[in-house]
Structure 1
């Protein structure tokens, strides 16, 4: 990895303390507040997802961490140094949401250009560029100018550019935007490889199913305020509810059983009930009494999308 690697790997890769940012506005006396006293820590070596609707402050936070913008108050540190410090920026790989490359360059030339900016010397740089072009399935397109690349190809090239210097921290804004399902799986595998070598991944994405698959922790922002921060497994842990799956073809029998059990409801071809083990046992007995064949009984787990919608609905406007 490039640059100073003396930072204690056990400490957080990103720390924000009372971080706030207000943009001046010509027509607004108070300006526009993008972040409101954010307290956040991203553990080293984990994959972290930053979630929120448009205008939540996600892009502003990324700009502050990279030193592109400066806070109005509070502080942020990245890899053990103040945000924007040159020694920490050398150890960051960044893929913005809307990235463009000079259209006359080939994919290979793009990576060589960024390799030079990262301080990679030519012999090692050539090997690294070749390795990454093959890794993101652009080996056959290395000599093609990027203006002929599809959106998905440009995203894969951007991923290769972001990990070119084997950074300690990857900051990725919508890395799977415009990528087909196969391409999303390839990018997901690539991110898992980066995590396996010890990199910390800081991810912005609207694809909550992808975030749920690869992230260890998430934070949910709304109008610059932190509403929820925690491990994905904790946020989506099973609650006191059950799903009963059945063999199809007996809708009348299922309806008859549900009528006998208070709180039972049909959801996507299954029957759900909230309550303890006694409640689900009563439902099972009622279904069996109607001759319904049960195939599975599972604890109900909220998806990350369920949590996201619920948190935003409960969150008060700051």
Structure 2
């Protein structure tokens, strides 16, 4: 095979995952913090890391980033071994606990991190980064007067300023008010739309459910469950309160999915690959058949219910 042929074949290969880890283990004294953890994060994917306090989430993140050396296991970041400093050159990181010098300004903090990352980010782009997290008007203020929420916003700006391909967020909304949480949610979705991978560790399960493509649940240092939200939560159902249902309407309901009914309530089980148009189309067709639609209620267990069931070793029926 010629060198040119080799390069063509390599160019045709799919990009490596943003994160790949296998068999991670870590002990602190007699306590096993992480035990045989394996998962991956694809490019442009948002993966949520869930679990109770002490489950090993932050230890896993620190091993991925080379801040803690694993006792066993392998890590690849953006196609490079985590032991290679170049693997972290395109990674943005917001730690759970951090502190900046109170005499610095947000502008000075970003300038410092751009130099540390050896990244060519012009001043205008750094200002845009501060605006993105809502700190444009405080760019020249000393951090000593910042609230915890404002410092959290600055930490997000630091994680994003060097144009990362992978962003690791460890409890990014812990000090933020509801508006700040919505801002972080929009920011994560914006990163995803640009092909940036995001690894999100958060106790706010509702936020994880809104933005994540897949979830890994850790318990006592091990992976207790993982998968897409559809896989973890099971098939969705929709309940409809209907009047005037005849044979034709029942046939239309059965065409949408497995049907059960009690009185004037009809329950349709939707397929796992439902594209979101089944229910609107069903309601439209039922109205066209003369059915009166009094209520439409989606039914599915929440991610919180699923998480609690996994941690309690219970079975949950979707």
TM over 0.5: yes
1:190: Cα distance to partner?
Answer: 1.5
CA contact (8 A) 2:241 2:264 kept: no
CA contact (8 A) 2:47 2:198 kept: yes
What are the equivalent positions in structure 2 for 1:143-154 lying under 5 Å apart? 143-154=140-151
* d(CA) in 2 for partners of 1:303, 1:207: 13
Distance 1:88 1:9, change over 3 A: farther
Aligned to 1:184, the other structure's residue is in SS state: helix
Distance 1:54 1:9, change over 3 A: farther
Match of 1:218 among 215, 220, 224: 215
Distance 1:86 1:187, change over 3 A: same
Match of 1:132 among 129, 133, 140: 129
For residue 48 of structure 1, what is the aligned residue in structure 2?
47
What are the equivalent positions in structure 2 for 1:49-128 lying under 5 Å apart? 49-121=48-120, 124-128=121-125
Say whether 1:18 aligns with 2:23.
yes
What are the equivalent positions in structure 2 for 1:162-311 lying under 5 Å apart? 162-238=159-235, 243=239, 277-278=259-260, 280-282=261-263, 284=265, 295-311=294-310
* d(CA) in 2 for partners of 1:7, 1:13: 18
For residue 286 of structure 2, what is the aligned residue in structure 1?
none
Aligned to 1:277, the other structure's residue is in SS state: strand
1:277: Cα distance to partner?
Answer: 2.8
After TM superposition, which residue ranges in structure 1, 4 or more long, deviate above 4 angstroms? Answer: 6-9, 241-246
Structural RMSD (CA) = 2.4
1:168: Cα distance to partner?
Answer: 0.8
Which digits, 9 at most, give the CA deviation of each residue in 1:221-250, with x for residues without a partner? 0000101010113222435x665679xxxx
1:159: Cα distance to partner?
Answer: 0.8
* d(CA) in 2 for partners of 1:300, 1:21: 40
* d(CA) in 1 for partners of 2:199, 2:50: 11
* d(CA) in 2 for partners of 1:9, 1:149: 44
Aligned to 2:68, the other structure's residue is in SS state: coil
CA contact (8 A) 2:239 2:265 kept: no
* d(CA) in 2 for partners of 1:120, 1:128: 12
1:282: Cα distance to partner?
Answer: 3.4
Distance 1:110 1:214, change over 3 A: same
CA contact (8 A) 1:238 1:299 kept: no
CA contact (8 A) 2:46 2:200 kept: yes
1:113: Cα distance to partner?
Answer: 1.0
* d(CA) in 2 for partners of 1:172, 1:227: 21
- Gaps in structure 1 of 5+ consecutive residues: 1-5, 25-30, 247-275, 286-292
Distance 1:8 1:134, change over 3 A: farther
1:163: Cα distance to partner?
Answer: 0.6
Which digits, 9 at most, give the CA deviation of each residue in 1:53-111, with x for residues without a partner? 01101011011101111111121211111124211111110000111100100111111
* d(CA) in 2 for partners of 1:7, 1:80: 15
- Gaps in structure 2 of 5+ consecutive residues: 1-10, 243-257, 267-291
For residue 264 of structure 1, what is the aligned residue in structure 2?
none
